[in-house]
Amino acid sequence: MKVILRKDVAALGDAGDVVAVKNGYANNYLIPQGMAIRATEGTLKALETEKKQQAKKIELQRKNARDLAQKIEQMTLKVSARAGESGKLFGTVTSADIAEALKALGVDIDRRKITLEAPVKALGKYEAEAKLFMDVTVKVNFEVEAEGAGS
């Protein structure tokens, strides 16, 4: 019997796959557990339509992520932190600080998607990487300046 998997099933396939299984396995386990539905002409057409809609949705999200990446590349963030006379920071600048600076400029990115190569512990210019979508990443340039500089 052919069934369409609604959930990922170990050693069988991922959600959305059409697989052939024994009748008993399908009728007694997969279908009652909500893991699969029978693969009829109607359900196969519905699956195809659903996959097309999902592909369009993903493409739209990818396009939006690329547009956002271009916007971020043109920015130079300024992150202020408390620093000593020698330019060494009291603490470090984290991805949360960068996310906060981006949010102040109208760009909302989760701090967990921002990665720093090394801890930022001194004043200066640095670069971080932000993952915006599955395959869209962007370099975030930021400058760490002394808090209350010029006062």
pLDDT, tens only, 105-141: 989 999 999 999 998 999 999 999 999 988 899 999 9
> How many Å apart are CA 140 and CA 119, to the nearest integer?
15
User: What pLDDT is stored for residue 149 in this prediction?
Assistant: 57
- Beta strands 77-81 and 136-146 are parallel
Q: Are 144 and 122 in contact (CB under 8 A)?
A: yes
Chain segment 6-52, per-residue pLDDT in tens: 999 988 998 889 999 999 999 999 999 999 999 999 999 999 999 99
User: What pLDDT is stored for residue 151 in this prediction?
Assistant: 39
> How many Å apart are CA 119 and CA 117, to the nearest integer?
7
In the chain, domain spans? 2-58, 69-146
**CATH code assigned to 69-146:** 3.10.430.100
Q: What is the mean pLDDT of the chain?
A: 91
User: What pLDDT is stored for residue 111 in this prediction?
Assistant: 93
CATH number for 2-58 (one of 3.30.565.10, 3.40.5.10, 1.10.10.10, 3.40.50.2300): it is 3.40.5.10
Residue 150 in this model has a pLDDT that exceeds 50: no
**Are domains 2-58 and 69-146 of this chain identical in fold?**
no
